[in-house]
Amino acid sequence: MFTALFAALLAGSTSTTYLEVPPSGGGMISGKITYDGKPPAPAKLSISMDRRYCGASRDDDTWLIGPDQGVKNVVVYLSDIKSGKKMSAAQNLTLNQAGCRYVPRITVVGQGATIEIKSSDPVLHNVHSYREGTTLFNVAVPPAQNFQISKKLDKTGGIKLKCDVHNFMRAAIFVASNPYFAITGEDGSYEIAEVPPGTYTVNTWHELAGPVSEQVTVPAGGVVAWNHKLR
């Protein structure tokens, strides 16, 4: 523990510094994220370019809402926790383009992670990334075997990806500063485990919905329910 603390002090004090200290008496935050109101009708996207490889159409998967209003692919995370369990987010991510889809569709990586961009498709793609409407990087990925580009993700938060060549291609990456996060499942449910006792800010991030932020108090060994609605 002393070694980790000393290393953190040498690195300087920042809001994203996180110390890996095995939690004692950890609790859990769990719940469900649902859609507030009538869900938008699923959109059918028509494809006009490279249909041989991309297909003729596909369903828009930005909003994935179940029959009971549960929203899939919402990142739920703690923003102000300073220490706890070992960092679990990946530090290396391979983003492929296969069948005119980004693979994976959504993922969480740790702050400072390296993303390797490649393509399995025999057509031109590009990866145009945004954070809050500002371009982070925009790289072309030619239809060449073994062509690969590396980018480092230093800033925390949600990143949207799109292909300017094929505007129906979408993906998302969330860069986390700590391991206390979850991605909601098919029914909108999630769990964040081994949370040290204390009061923390729970947040949501989704490609289209506005963010939600609220404080919760986690008792030692207890379970706190945190449910919210998005629009």
Written as six digits, the tokens of 146 are: 């073994």
Spatial separation of the C-alpha atoms in residues 141 and 220, rounded to whole Å: 49
At 16 the pLDDT is 58
User: Three-class SS of residue 222?
Assistant: coil
% pLDDT > 70, the chain: 93
Same domain assignment for residues 64 and 119: no
Do 58 and 70 reside in the same domain of the chain?
yes
**Which of 153, 177, 201 finishes a domain?**
177
Q: Please give the average per-residue pLDDT across 28-47, as a whole number.
A: 95
pLDDT at position 17, please? 85
Nearest by Cα to 108 from 92, 124, 125:
92
**pLDDT (average), residues 152-167:** 97
Identity of the residue numbered 28: M
Coil/strand/helix, residue 4: helix
Determine, yes or no, domain membership for 37: yes
CATH number where 153 lies:
2.60.40.420
- 57 pLDDT band, cuts 50/70/90, is very high
State the average pLDDT over residues 171-196: 98
* pTM for the full predicted model: 0.90
The reported pLDDT for the residue numbered 144 is 78
Would you say residue 197 lies in a domain?
Answer: yes
Same domain, 158 and 193: no
Q: What is d(CA 63, CA 11) in angstroms, rounded to the nearest whole number? A: 40
Q: Which of 196, 200, 214 is nearest to 28 (CA)?
A: 196
Poorest-pLDDT segment among 116-125, 137-146, 149-158, 161-170 = 137-146
pLDDT of residue 152: 96
Domain boundary among 177, 203, 221: 177
Residues 126 and 167 in one domain: yes
In a domain, 61, yes or no: yes
Residue 9 has pLDDT above 50, yes or no: no
For residue 104, whether the previous peptide bond is cis, meaning omega lies within 30 degrees of 0, is yes
pLDDT of residue 42: 84
Quick: pLDDT tens for 85-137.
999 999 999 999 999 999 999 999 999 999 999 999 999 999 999 999 999 99
Say if 20 falls within a structural domain.
no
Write down the mean pLDDT value for the chain. Answer: 92
Q: Tens digits of per-residue pLDDT, 197-223?
A: 999 999 999 999 999 999 999 999 999
**Percent of the chain whose predicted confidence (pLDDT) is above 90:** 87
Q: Domain range holding 221?
A: 25-82+180-231
Judged against a pLDDT cut of 70, whether residue 53 lies above it is answered with yes
Whether residue 136 sits in one domain with residue 120: yes
Domain count, the chain: 2
Number of residues assigned to the chain: 231
Q: In this predicted structure, what is the pLDDT of residue 6?
A: 33
Is 102 in the same domain as 211? no
The DSSP output letter for 196 is P
